[in-house]
A and B are shown apart, each in its own frame.
Chain A
């Protein structure tokens, strides 16, 4: 049981480049989330997905798109990266809505945009 996995672990982009961060979970969870963590800040919710085929905006969605490809996978896309998107990105999953149980985090992707 790998839990929540993320790829890549590290990435450096130039301003304007695009990339997709991948996330997968093997716990048969319905809900999946993307957060970003900046220095001195807590995690902030970018997007979430309550079930396959549905996605909703979180606190800081601007500049990002997401896809819930199937129950296991939830990807985050930066179409035109900006230095302000330099951050550590965490994917998470939970069995149902957050009030129903623990949220499990992936190991994170450290992204630098120059």
Chain B
């Protein structure tokens, strides 16, 4: 089955700096790559997603890039703010079976 690796597990950045979280996947048939933000005790919330026919997608301060050849995708957050502090999960789907395979998460800490 699909395997998703996510790095780093913890990321601490100064407010206003950029943050980058990286994921790799193993199933070349996967074609859908969402990113979720999860605050403590809450449900995961979709923040951005990308499909395999697109190399980059941007939504205000958030962008995602996808390299299908290398089977990796990344989340970029610019001008970080305190409310960006949360756990972020990458995921992949659309391969053989339905549902998503998640990475283990990155705890993003924004230092004031």
Contacts and interface: CB of A to CB of B under 8 A. Distances in A.
Question: Do these two chains interact?
Answer: yes
A45 interface: yes
A102 interface: yes
Interface string A20-41: 0000000000010100000011
Interface in A89-114: 90, 97-99, 102-103, 105-108
A27 to B, nearest CB: 14
Contacts of A45: 99-101
B44 interface: yes
A108 B91 CA distance: 18
A77 B95 CA distance: 27
A53 interface: no
A9 to B, nearest CB: 11
Given A42-B89, A97-B94, A48 B99 contact: yes
Given A99-B31, A99-B32, A99-B93, A41 B44 contact: no
Interface string B15-59: 000000000000000011010000000111110010100000000
Interface of B: 1, 4, 6, 31-32, 34, 42-46, 49, 51, 89, 91, 93-94, 97-105
